[in-house]
Amino acid sequence: MVYNRCVGTRYCSNNCPYKVRRFNFLLYQDWDTTQYKLMRNPEVSIRSRGVMEKCTYCTQRIASARIEAEKDERAIRDGEIVTACQAACPTNVFSFGDMNDHSSEVSKKKTDPRNYTLLNNLNTQPRTTYLAELKNQNKEMPDYRPVHFPAVDYQESESPETGEVNNEGH
């Protein structure tokens, strides 16, 4: 999402199957009050009205990590970029990294059988994927629930003859 290029046709938002995009229908930000400028992150541009918004995976942090790596003439190390949500999360659920690097933490997590995508059957190829919930595995305990693998379930629900997805029971 390049905010400076956005003219606000809202086509991406209309067509977003996840409906995650949000639009600045009016000017929501106070540009003029001086003391607000101190409050804001100087690395993040303030979006004007008429611009679509979406999670950028903290592009400013990616950019600064890339600059550091380029100065040292090396690749960006795994775990060097920490997104804001990742830094703030008390339960450490997020991982962020290079999907093309098969030794990175995020690549390892993506090979976990609990890993699943949302609406990938529409060929959206989402890069954000999720891990299925993991409950207490001790069968004696009251909060025991067997672990399930949504991606495997989805594959199995696919009819082998027609290739069509059986959506019943979802």
Partner 1 sequence: MALKEKEKDQIATTSALSPKELRDMHRKLVPAMIEGDHTFGTVSDKIGDVALKRKTPFHWFIGVAIAFCVAQLLLFTTIWLLLKGIGIWGTNQPAGWAFPIINFVWWIGIGHAGTLISAILLLLNQKWRTSINRFAEAMTLFAVANAAIFPLVHTGRPWLAAYWLFPYPNVMGIWPQFRSPLIWDVFAVSTYATVSLLFWYVGLIPDLATLRDRAKNPFFKFIYSIFSWGWRGSARHWHRYELAYLILAGISTPLVLSVHSLVSLDFAVSQIPGWHATFFPPYFVAGAIYAGFAMVLILCIPLRHLYNMKDFITHTHLVFLRKGDDGDRIYRCLQLRNGGLLRLVRCVAVRVVHDQEPHMGGPILFHVLAADLV
Query: Is 109 within 8 Å of 96 (Cβ atoms)?
Result: no
CB of 5 to partner 1, least distance (A): 7
The single residue among 6, 58, 97, 116 that binds partner 1, judged by CB under 8 A, is 6
Asked whether position 148 contacts partner 1 by CB under 8 A, the answer is no
Asked whether position 25 contacts partner 1 by CB under 8 A, the answer is yes
Q: Could you tell me which residues are beta bridge partners of residue 136?
A: 144
Asked whether position 71 contacts partner 1 by CB under 8 A, the answer is no
CB of 132 to partner 1, least distance (A): 25
Q: Which stretch binds partner 1 (CB under 8 A): 4-12, 55-63, 92-100, 150-158?
A: 4-12
The single residue among 7, 38, 39, 88 that binds partner 1, judged by CB under 8 A, is 7
The CA-CA-CA angle for residues 78, 107, 130, to 5°, reads: 115
Contacts of residue 57, defined as CB under 8 A and 6 or more positions apart, other chains included, come to 83, 96
d(CA 12, CA 21): 8
d(CA 121, CA 151): 11
108-147: which residues touch partner 1 (CB under 8 A)?
122, 124
Nearer to partner 1, 31 or 91 (CB): 31
- Nearest in space to 44 (alpha carbons), one of 55, 34, 35, 33: 55
d(CA 26, CA 108): 42
The 3-state DSSP class for residue 34 equals helix
x-marked contacts with partner 1 along 44-63 as a string, rule CB under 8 A: ----xxxxx-----------
Residues lying near partner 1 in the complex (CB under 8 A): 5-11, 13-17, 19, 22-27, 48-52, 122, 124
